[in-house]
Structure 1
Amino acid sequence: MMDKRLVKISKTLSMLLRHHPEKLGLVLDQYGRTDWKTLVRRFNAHYQMHLDRQVLQAIMAQSTKKRFALEGTTIRAVYGHSVPVMPLTPATEPPQWLYHGTSHQAATVIAKEGLLPMNRDFVHLSEDVATARQVGARHDTHPVIYRIAARDAAKNGILFYPTSSRVWLVSELPARFLHHLTSYFRRP
């Protein structure tokens, strides 16, 4: 588990690389990559915190979410962007089932409209129920968990993009491919 200092740096990096690169004048390429040395220099000057390659590697090694990737001279957020980026990996056939955790409030809309990216580029799907539950618990103490008929959706033309952190990205998903898991659906 990361110490508080690394968590704070990680959250700040997430904000910068996913949502507001302009805050430090960072330029992201079409895949969301930027020069890691430029990021470090500007981060340290702006936030008065110590960031270097070793700190980046410690965050990446200690985080269970695997939010960042250092690739040669660049760094990128692996998923979660609200700024437009292209998936780095090609569309791939997904597993039979994927999962999505959400709040009861959002579930009423999702049941009608399907999964939409809202203020992000992609919908995030998990490979297992436990991860989906953890994600959904950020929004609701007893989240709704949807099981996604991912392979069926792919056969119907929906593109799925895997990430190195076991999160799958999809631009949107019609409701017909969603099945809520009743064991998590009702509030106690």
Structure 2
Amino acid sequence: MKNNEGNYQKNYQDNKMGRFLSLVLRHQPQAAGITLDQNGWASVDELIRGVNRTGRRLDRAALDRIVAENSKQRYSFNEDRTRIRANQGHSLTVDVELKQQMPPAVLYHGTAQHYVQSILQQGIRRGTRQHVHLTEDQKLAAKVGSRHGQPAVLAVDAADMHQAGYIFYRSENDVWLCEHVPAIYMRVEMH
């Protein structure tokens, strides 16, 4: 029983630390007193020291575990594992060196039902992030939408968008990205 409690506590702490790392590596590096380079990379050693200066506890083993076990694979190490960055989702201007790719025929975007009417008029906008986030997984889109209220899933005709000249990228963690999805390329899949 103690082992289960210990695992639960470790998972809880890792999850909490993962949310803080997401904040630092995607939005506010100053929250840990660090800087990101133009490609979003941070020194692992500086990140650990910076996080610990905030009163939180992070060591290399915990960081390795958080990166490896994050269900959304939000973070990547460089080849020699001395630098770390978020794979996508930045509100900061960074170039995570995404490569253009041809998207599948249909991608999905999860949102809350109360946003659907506005989206059907204006399209999907990136808001404060660098890109609109799309997925090949309709269930994942519904899960994302449920974070903001009653979920709705929009199907995006990515093939037609690509044919019309819209550029798509695929992040290290398999999130499809583009700058904007005009309303004419989508339909409500689940409402």
* TM surpasses 0.5: yes
Paired residue for 2:55?
47
Paired residue for 1:177?
185
Structure-1 separation of matches of 2:176 and 2:125:
14
SS, match of residue 3 in structure 1 = helix
Paired residue for 2:172?
164
Structure-1 separation of matches of 2:65 and 2:31:
24
Structure-2 separation of matches of 1:109 and 1:5:
38
Comparing 54-63 with 148-157, greater Cα deviation is found at 54-63
SS, match of residue 146 in structure 1 = strand
Q: Deviations over 1:70-128 (max 9, x none)?
A: 11321111111111122422111111111001011221111011110111111110111
Q: Which runs of 5+ in 2 are unaligned?
A: 1-7
SS, match of residue 38 in structure 2 = coil
Structure-2 separation of matches of 1:104 and 1:126:
18
Give 4+ residue runs of structure 1 displaced > 3 Å after superposition.
none
Structure-2 separation of matches of 1:105 and 1:4:
31
Comparing 23-32 with 125-134, greater Cα deviation is found at 23-32
Shift of 1:53: 2.5
- CA RMSD of the aligned region, Å? 1.5
- Determine what percentage of the aligned residue pairs are the same residue: 34
Q: Please tell me the residue identity of whatever aligns with 1:114.
A: G
Structure-2 separation of matches of 1:47 and 1:95:
45
Is residue 2:20 matched to residue 1:12?
yes
Is residue 2:124 matched to residue 1:115?
yes
Q: Is the CA contact 1:87–1:161 (under 8 Å) kept in the aligned structure 2?
A: no
Shift of 1:129: 0.2
Paired residue for 1:69?
76
Is residue 2:160 matched to residue 1:152?
yes
SS, match of residue 157 in structure 1 = coil
Q: Is the CA contact 2:43–2:84 (under 8 Å) kept in the aligned structure 1?
A: yes
SS, match of residue 37 in structure 1 = helix
Q: Is the CA contact 1:121–1:171 (under 8 Å) kept in the aligned structure 2?
A: yes
Q: Please tell me the residue identity of whatever aligns with 2:69.
A: Q
Paired residue for 1:135?
144
Shift of 1:151: 1.6
Paired residue for 1:105?
114
Shift of 1:164: 2.0
SS, match of residue 135 in structure 1 = helix
TM-score normalized by the length of structure 1: 0.90
Return the index of the structure with the highest Cα Rg. 2
Aligned positions, number: 181
Structure-1 separation of matches of 2:32 and 2:121:
40
